[in-house]
């Protein structure tokens, strides 16, 4: 549904409207990177210490969600102070956070991912079935499943705040070429997930591309945060219970893996275009026409 004109129009995304040459200050960028990583690590460590007395399984889950989320949130909060932006600027181009758009991303992405997840479950080894996996992890798998679902939504939103909020906008300070913006941030997204097996790396890159497209097209991270959360929830509940990353089996690329990744990527683009083009969805999610990137826009340049 998206053509060359749509991709070119992403350079004029409302999400990047207040990014200008001022954001290219390298001294501020260096301070942001050094200070953000330091304070983020301190914040995550404090959360980890606070979780020290909990059972191991629950502690692992909370660390992967709460501690990591606190790291990304602290980093972007400091970046906003240094760049003299409101924190909301890294969330949305809208006047208010569009919570319905987040919910729509969660719902539509779940539907788009469902066929791939079902296929994965059906082809999984007996030891990886949902019931067997949760039974081996916790006495009360239902409680853990519910807790995982609740925690993974803000955790995904915190990641989106950094990768598609801060990093995408910061990169746009140096270039407005949509392909560069999207591919660069997607590669960083994959690298920082530290899964360098061929299948895991490619999967994360394509996820990053899809999430960046959603953000630029719809003028904020709400929809990509919902889609990201849907991905993580389905992975944790049905594919790799209680692990937020990809499998550590180190499998190489296969036609099956590539087909699944391609299907997920196509689904991400499709649901973003559905929201951008269908008035009923836009109205329900409180998305205004000016918040959606134009399909015939020319890329602006810094001069």
Q: How confident is the model at residue 251 (pLDDT cuts 50, 70, 90)?
A: low
pLDDT value of position 41: 95
In a domain, residue 300? The reply is: no
Choose the weakest-confidence range: 122-126, 199-203, 207-211, 239-243. 239-243
Helical ranges in the chain per DSSP H:
4-9, 26-50, 56-62, 68-83, 99-122, 130-137, 141-160, 168-172, 178-192, 198-218, 222-234, 255-277, 279-284
| Residue-number span of the structural domain to which 225 is assigned | 4-18+97-291
Residue-wise pLDDT tens digits, 182-205:
999 999 999 998 888 888 899 999
In a domain, residue 45? The reply is: no
Residue-wise pLDDT tens digits, 108-141:
999 999 888 777 767 665 554 444 455 555 555 6
pLDDT value of position 301: 41
Residue-wise pLDDT tens digits, 19-64:
987 899 999 999 999 999 999 999 999 988 887 777 666 667 777 7
In a domain, residue 51? The reply is: no
In a domain, residue 13? The reply is: yes
Q: How confident is the model at residue 279 (pLDDT cuts 50, 70, 90)?
A: very high
Q: How confident is the model at residue 96 (pLDDT cuts 50, 70, 90)?
A: very high
In a domain, residue 62? The reply is: no
In a domain, residue 271? The reply is: yes
pLDDT value of position 293: 93
Full-model pTM: 0.87
Mean pLDDT of the chain: 84
pLDDT value of position 164: 97
As for how many domains the chain has, the answer is: 1
In a domain, residue 249? The reply is: yes
In a domain, residue 86? The reply is: no
pLDDT value of position 39: 97
Cβ distance 219 to 15 under 8 Å?
yes
């Amino acid at each position: 549904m998206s053509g060359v004109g749509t991709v070119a129009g992403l350079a004029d995304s409302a999400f990047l409207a207040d990014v200008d040459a001022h954001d290219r200050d390298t001294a501020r960028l260096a301070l942001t990177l050094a200070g953000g990583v330091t304070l983020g690590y301190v914040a995550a460590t404090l959360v980890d210490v606070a979780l020290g007395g909990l059972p191991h399984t629950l502690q692992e889950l909370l660390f992967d969600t709460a501690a990591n989320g606190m790291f990304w949130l602290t980093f972007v909060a400091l970046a906003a102070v240094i760049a003299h932006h409101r924190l909301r600027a890294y969330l949305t181009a809208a006047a208010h956070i569009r919570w319905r758009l987040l919910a729509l991303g969660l719902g539509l992405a779940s539907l788009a991912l469902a066929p791939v997840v079902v296929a994965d479950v059906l082809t999984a080894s007996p030891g990886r079935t949902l019931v067997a996996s949760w039974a081996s992890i916790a006495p009360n798998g239902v409680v853990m499943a519910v807790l995982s679902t609740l925690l993974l939504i803000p955790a995904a939103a915190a990641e989106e705040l950094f990768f598609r909020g801060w990093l995408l906008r910061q990169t746009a300070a140096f270039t407005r070429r949509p392909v560069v913006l999207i591919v660069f941030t997607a590669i960083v997204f994959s690298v920082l997930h530290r899964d360098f097996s061929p299948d895991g790396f490619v999967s994360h890159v394509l996820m990053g591309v899809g999430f960046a497209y959603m953000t630029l097209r719809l003028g904020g991270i709400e929809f990509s945060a919902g889609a990201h959360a849907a991905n993580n929830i389905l992975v944790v509940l049905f594919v790799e219970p209680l692990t937020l990353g990809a499998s550590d089996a180190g499998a190489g690329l296969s036609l099956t893996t590539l087909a699944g990744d391609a299907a997920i990527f196509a689904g991400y683009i499709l649901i973003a275009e559905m929201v951008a083009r269908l008035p009923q969805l836009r109205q329900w999610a409180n998305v205004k026409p000016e918040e959606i990137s134009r399909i015939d826009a020319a890329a602006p340049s810094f001069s």
